[in-house]
Amino acid sequence: MPLVLITDANVWIDLQVGKVLAEAVKLGFDFVLPDVIHAELEDSKPAVFEDLSLLLELEHIRLGGLPPEAVSLAERFASQHWKPQSPDLFALAMAKLEEAVLVTGDKDLREAAEAEEIEVHGTLWLMEAMVKQKVLTARRAHSSLRRMLKSDRRLPEGECRKLLRRWSQK
């Protein structure tokens, strides 16, 4: 059974900017895009995705509706973790209920997930997985990460430097 990953908007934007979105879905994970995050991506200005429906047509990505218990859990999270935005708290609640991994590029959401003992990773974790599984070459991962950084994507600076050094040596 594939690992289920609940995602926030930042991850999809990072992968789209880095031009590796199609490669990420080849990892064999079951990506779940919560419907509230999908709506957030649709409303994003400037639009990163020319046609967001194409994202959902990729294999291994499904739109996840929020069950009622996720709504009440997100409300509880909102009272305990006031920094993450509302759509992100729904992703957090979904990850908790589905016992899934949360993949986010948001520092505040990451901290909330850690406080709730939910396994959490980010874009760089996906990038490393793509290189390890040979979905991407180290050279392509290097150029993709540089593209993300040039587009002012909020990624951890120190970790980016380490990966860029490692990938430039391969």
Q: What separation, in Å, do the N-terminal and C-terminal C-alpha atoms of the chain show?
A: 32
Helix axis angle, 107-115 to 68-80, nearest 10°: 100
How far, in Å, CA of 147 to CA of 19, rounded?
8
| pLDDT on residue 145 | 97
Burial class (CB in 10 A: 0-12, 13-18, 19+), 127: buried
| pLDDT on residue 88 | 94
Higher pLDDT, 55 or 137: 137
Q: What is the CA radius of gyration of the chain?
A: 16
The per-residue pLDDT for range 125-153, each reduced to its tens digit, is 999 999 999 999 999 999 999 999 999 89
Higher pLDDT, 52 or 71: 71
Q: How confident is the model at residue 50 (pLDDT cuts 50, 70, 90)?
A: low
Q: How confident is the model at residue 48 (pLDDT cuts 50, 70, 90)?
A: confident
Q: Within 13 A of 92's CA, how many CA atoms are on the CB side?
A: 30
Q: How confident is the model at residue 58 (pLDDT cuts 50, 70, 90)?
A: confident
| pLDDT on residue 45 | 60
* pTM, rounded to two decimals: 0.92
Higher pLDDT, 55 or 127: 127
| pLDDT on residue 44 | 74
Q: Within 13 A of 12's CA, how many CA atoms are on the CB side?
A: 26
Assign a CATH topology to domain 4-123.
Rossmann fold (3.40.50)
